[in-house]
């Protein structure tokens, strides 16, 4: 995804210069003519920029005051300050006020771009750490979910309503669509946030231990029961119990589960009496439970008990607008394991991910990004690093017809408009040129003389551009 930079400076010439430099580096740019305008943009309810370049010396509202107000408002937008005063005192004051970096005017394009990309990388990593921390403390909320597509926004809207009560929720969807993440968000947005969230994979429970695992057992209740165990229902008491793949439970376990839901009591194995529990129940299934009810493999009364509020999650192929954002989230999570410094994804990689079918859904996307981070050999993840995607024909080369005349078939993605980003803005010339070279290399199978001739440049120029854009010749 293309990052948006807010340039806040009262000097119009400086704003124009910074905007031109950042646009040529591939960023989207917004401008504010002073501290007040910047604060309104950063504190508003509309879409926020990804980062802000803030001049310290502005007449209407000083940059340090802007930083202090942003800090008081707990703003998450990273800020890089710019000033003509390069004193140590000013730098210390700015960093104490919340700035992530300090640059002295005039700043060169290379230094500016490096500082912005470093700040964005740190911000993405911090965001992911906070999200994982909230998940570990059972406080994950809906704001932590990627929701650009209408399908997932509708599911989130329904889930928000469910989170306000203890109504039993049944989350359905294909394997890997993120049913447990949704369950955690429902829990984290509700009154039980911060209390236990206990997840149980019903399909992985040993048949002879299901009752013990769910409801607990007393010491000596059966051979091997050397200690007393409370069971998952008791562990979740006061919080939420999440039963994943609930359709995998055998009939005897379904009977005991129904009684526990109806009465709010469990009977630990070997116990002399019942134990009261207070849980919020969320169940999940990737199978059609209604069809199982019709087939006699799932109890009808249990189905109606757990599906008071049904919630369906669409597969990833039906929410393609979320793919780029999810990929960036997973990149932030795994990029520290990379052998090289990874800045993001090439446009070709983003388009490849958007075209893929993703039968494994979000789980497959996460694994693909994790693997791509390990395989990447440059600052950008490219299509060839996305192992496992159906990219057959993307590097289609020349075909040889019967008459011996060599034909060159363009790759299937040649219909994609390489001149524009998905948001409609024109891409920088350097990015377009790099993409044209990559496509030519694939189309002509790395034959450098042919590639240079078709691109209308000399071979030495082609080799230099390969180095400039960090493009590897096929087979290299």
pLDDT class of 138 with cuts at 50, 70, 90: low
| pLDDT value for 1 | 55
Token pair listed for 180: 């447990």
Mean of pLDDT values over 404-411: 40
Mean of pLDDT values over 440-450: 79
| pLDDT value for 52 | 93
217 vs 226, 311, 365, CA distance in Å?
A: 10, 33, 40
pLDDT tens digits along 216-238? 888 877 777 778 888 999 999 99
Percentage of the chain exceeding pLDDT 90: 38
Whether the predicted pLDDT of 85 surpasses 70? yes
Identity of the highest mean pLDDT range in 1-10, 78-87, 208-217, 362-371: 362-371
Does 292 or 88 have the greater pLDDT score?
A: 292
Question: What domains lie within the chain, and their CATH numbers?
Answer: 4-131 (3.40.50.2300), 142-314 (3.40.50.300), 320-468 (1.10.8.60)
Whether the predicted pLDDT of 305 surpasses 60? yes
Phi, psi of 134 (to 5 degrees): -65, -35
Whether the predicted pLDDT of 391 surpasses 60? no
Identity of the highest mean pLDDT range in 75-79, 150-154, 226-230, 343-347: 150-154
Whole-angstrom Cα distance, residue 68 to residue 55? 14
The DSSP string of 421-447 is -TTSPBPPHHHHHHHHHHHHHHHTTT-
Helices (H), 335-447: 347-355, 361-375, 429-443
Q: What is the DSSP pairing of strand 28-32 with strand 4-8? A: parallel
| pLDDT value for 459 | 78
The position carrying tokens 């800020």 is 79
Whether the predicted pLDDT of 412 surpasses 50? no
| pLDDT value for 106 | 83
Q: What is the pTM of this model?
A: 0.62
Q: Across the chain, what does the average pLDDT equal? A: 84
- By 3-state DSSP, what share of the chain in percent is helix, strand and coil, each rounded to 5? 50, 15, 40
| pLDDT value for 194 | 85
Whether the predicted pLDDT of 406 surpasses 60? no
Whether the predicted pLDDT of 422 surpasses 80? no
Whole-angstrom Cα distance, residue 136 to residue 144? 13
The position carrying tokens 């693997």 is 371
Whole-angstrom Cα distance, residue 277 to residue 394? 57
pLDDT class of 410 with cuts at 50, 70, 90: very low
Whether the predicted pLDDT of 371 surpasses 60? yes
pLDDT class of 473 with cuts at 50, 70, 90: low
Identity of the highest mean pLDDT range in 16-30, 108-122, 355-369: 355-369
| pLDDT value for 172 | 96
């Amino acid at each position: 995804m293309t990052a948006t930079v807010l340039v806040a400076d009262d000097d119009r010439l400086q704003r124009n210069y910074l905007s031109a430099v950042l646009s040529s580096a591939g960023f989207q740019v917004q401008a504010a003519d002073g501290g007040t305008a910047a604060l309104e943009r950063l504190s508003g309810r509309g879409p926020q920029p990804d980062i802000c370049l803030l001049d310290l010396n502005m007449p209407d509202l000083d940059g340090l005051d802007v930083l202090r107000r942003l800090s008081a408002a707990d703003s998450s937008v990273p800020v890089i300050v710019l000033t003509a005063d390069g004193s140590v005192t000013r730098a210390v004051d700015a960093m104490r006020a919340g700035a992530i970096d300090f640059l002295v005017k005039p700043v060169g394009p290379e230094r500016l771009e490096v500082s912005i990309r470093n700040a964005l990388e740190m911000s993405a990593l911090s965001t992911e750490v906070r999200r994982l921390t909230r998940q570990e403390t059972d406080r994950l909320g809906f704001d932590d979910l990627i929701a650009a597509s209408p399908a997932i926004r509708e599911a989130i809207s329904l889930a928000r309503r469910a989170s306000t009560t203890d109504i039993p929720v049944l989350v359905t969807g294909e394997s890997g669509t993120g049913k447990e993440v949704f369950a955690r968000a429902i829990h984290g947005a509700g009154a039980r946030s911060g209390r236990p969230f206990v997840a149980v994979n019903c399909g992985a429970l040993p048949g002879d231990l299901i009752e013990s695992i769910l409801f607990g057992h007393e010491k000596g209740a059966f051979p091997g029961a050397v200690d007393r165990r409370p069971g998952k229902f008791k562990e979740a008491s006061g919080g939420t119990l999440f039963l994943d793949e609930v359709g995998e439970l055998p009939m005897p376990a379904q009977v005991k589960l129904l009684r526990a839901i109806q009465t709010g009591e469990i009977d630990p194995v070997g116990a002399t009496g019942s134990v009261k529990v207070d849980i919020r129940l969320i169940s999940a299934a990737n199978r059609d439970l209604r069809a199982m009810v019709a087939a006699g493999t799932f109890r009808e009364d249990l189905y109606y008990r757990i599906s008071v509020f049904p919630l369906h999650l669409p597969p990833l192929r039906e929410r393609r607008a979320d793919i780029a954002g999810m990929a960036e989230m997973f990149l932030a999570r795994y990029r520290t394991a990379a052998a090289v410094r990874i800045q993001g994804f090439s446009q070709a990689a983003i388009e490849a991910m958007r075209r893929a079918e993703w039968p494994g859904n979000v789980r497959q996307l996460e694994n693909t990004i994790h693997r791509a981070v390990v395989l990447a050999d440059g600052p950008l993840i490219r299509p060839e690093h996305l192992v496992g995607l159906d990219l057959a024909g993307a590097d289609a080369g020349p075909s040889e017809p019967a008459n011996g005349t060599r034909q060159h078939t363009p790759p299937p993605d040649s219909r994609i408009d390489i001149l524009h980003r998905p948001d409609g803005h024109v891409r920088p010339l350097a990015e377009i040129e790099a993409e044209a070279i990559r496509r030519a290399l694939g189309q002509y199978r790395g034959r450098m003389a042919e590639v240079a001739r078709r691109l209308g440049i000399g071979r030495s120029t082609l080799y230099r551009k390969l180095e400039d854009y960090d493009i590897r010749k096929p087979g290299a």
